[in-house]
Amino acid sequence: MSDLKTLFDSIFTASASLATAPILALGVGLLLLLLCDIVTPLRPARGLAFVGTLVVAAILQARVLFANSAPGLVLDGTFLADPTTALFGLSFLVGSLLAWLYASGYYDEERVLATEHDVLFLAAPAGMILMVGAADLLVFFVGLELLSLPLYALAAFRRSRADSVEAGLKYFLLGAFSSAMFLFGSALLYTAAGSLSLSAIAEHGLASRTALAGIALVTSGVFFKASIFPFHMWVPDVYQGSPTPVTALMATGTKAAIFGFLVVQLMPLLPPSAAPMIAVLAIVTMFLGNFGALVQSNVKRMLAYSGVAHAGTLLLVVPGFLAGADPAAASRAALFYLVAYLFTGTGAFGLLALLEADGERFTSLDSLKGLAKRRPAIAAAMTLFLLSLGGIPATGGFLGKWFVFSVLVEAGWTGTAILGVLFSVVALGYYLRVIVAMYMEEALEGEAAPTTNRTGATAATAVCVVGVLATGLLPALLLGPLGS
């Protein structure tokens, strides 16, 4: 008995509870939310319970960030909590809140399931935090599924619409396929190294064929979720078919979580000889994303392709790291890029959610024509987000790209960095086309979007605008806690 107690005490230490408190808070809040739905008098408090849970979780996550000494590896070395993962965690919570604000009032016929929607929205960030902190393949797998399963359901949330259900089914099938690849890879790595801990696997090395096949499958599974070529085909369909606020969460939060794991945990495991191959995958992803976006006439689908291109750009930090760039600089660049993209992408998709009515009727380029005259504030905010996506200075998107490319230059891969910058110029082409349509073209007859206005969406847009400008003008605000 005393042995068991010693073991228990050695695993569940004070720093372990500090590190896992945000996830536990999300779990408790999720149960409370379900309770609110059952107990009729509590029903009006559902929104409060949702926001309250996220705020409490954010405060607990900030405690990790500002703790005198970061908890580090806890729970028997399976979960990492340091300033980097804490910043990632905070960004997931903010991203979920923003996407949820855009979702309020978005659905019409499915209002009955409002609580289910919110519960799924709370489970996703818990999975994301678990993924970024995972120092162990099992913990990552649990986090991945905790994130993916709610998103499958959310993607198909407009059940009466064929495109939404089809997006959910596609996302589910390909997600399950990539999970299975990841799992078989984990099993091979475990067979080779005898442990699920990433540090033990790194120590064991990748000398054997089993281990090499394992790391290849694990990386493929991760690339699938991150929408890297050749696993990017599902993204435009799923992003277009899903309800737009859910797309916002998928495009920003999921991408941040998967890249967070890739950069913080998985990158040190990859063999340096893989750098050229990953660089080629990144370049091809950027190519397909950018040129796919160029030919789209639907803005939502265009933003989905642009998301693919952004994933390609961000992936460039991995070869930069493998080729010898400073690891801290690489993870800082990725974190900054993802936080900037979180505000930008959520804002852009969110505004589309606000503009569209009756499904996707108003997400085409034609229906955005003349928007600046009809709704100047929305057009101005959209312009800012598009410029940030395109990487124009004074926005967070510019600095994110700058950091990523400077990691490459530091590693001596100047040519690849120049190629990346050229693709960014191509990207400006399709972002500017939307701005031109909004400001310089006349509205088509009968194509004008209705002038819906929602408090939640306005608040979320304000936060996104501030976020884009703050990351662009005051990067020290974000990078300060990391210590440069």
Partner 1 sequence: MNVPTEHLLALASILFALGVAGFLVRRNVIIVLASVELMLNAANLCFLAGSRAWAAEGAAGGHPIQGPVFALFVILVAAAEAAIGLALIIAIYRLKRTTALDATRDLEG
Interaction site with partner 1 (CB under 8 A): 137-138, 141-142, 145, 149, 152-153, 156, 159-160, 162-163, 165-170, 172-173, 176-177, 179-181, 183-184, 186-188, 190-196, 210, 236-237, 240-241, 296, 301
Closest contact distance (angstroms) between CB of 73 and partner 1 is 16
Chain Cα centroid distance, residue 386: 18
DSSP string, 246-263: HHHHIIIIIHHHHHHHII
Closest contact distance (angstroms) between CB of 90 and partner 1 is 27
CA distance 474 to 396: 9
Cα diameter, the chain: 79
Closest contact distance (angstroms) between CB of 142 and partner 1 is 7
Closest to partner 1 by CB, 208 vs 406, is: 208
CA distance 427 to 416: 17
Closest contact distance (angstroms) between CB of 44 and partner 1 is 29
**Beta carbons within 8 Å of 383's beta carbon, 6+ residues apart:** 435, 438, 439
- Say which DSSP state 189 is in: H
Closest contact distance (angstroms) between CB of 15 and partner 1 is 23
Closest to partner 1 by CB, 265 vs 424, is: 265
Q: How far is CA 411 from CA 121, 193, 333, 401, 415, in A?
A: 39, 30, 14, 16, 11
Closest to partner 1 by CB, 172 vs 336, is: 172
Closest to partner 1 by CB, 165 vs 426, is: 165
Closest contact distance (angstroms) between CB of 192 and partner 1 is 8
Closest to partner 1 by CB, 172 vs 229, is: 172
Closest to partner 1 by CB, 73 vs 457, is: 73
Closest contact distance (angstroms) between CB of 176 and partner 1 is 5
Closest to partner 1 by CB, 148 vs 285, is: 148
CA distance 179 to 11: 28
Give the relative orientation of helices 376-390 and 455-473 as an angle to the nearest 10 degrees.
Answer: 40
Closest contact distance (angstroms) between CB of 303 and partner 1 is 14
Closest contact distance (angstroms) between CB of 247 and partner 1 is 13
Q: Both ends of the chain: CA-CA distance in Å?
A: 47
Whether omega before 271 lies within 30 degrees of 0, making that bond cis, reads: no
Closest to partner 1 by CB, 170 vs 225, is: 170
Chain Cα centroid distance, residue 32: 26
Closest to partner 1 by CB, 213 vs 426, is: 213
CA distance 48 to 446: 39
Q: How far is CA 223 from CA 285, 315, 458, in A?
A: 11, 10, 34
CA distance 228 to 222: 9
| 146 neighbors 127 (Cβ within 8 angstroms) | yes
Nearest Cα neighbor of 370 from 440, 276, 273 is: 440
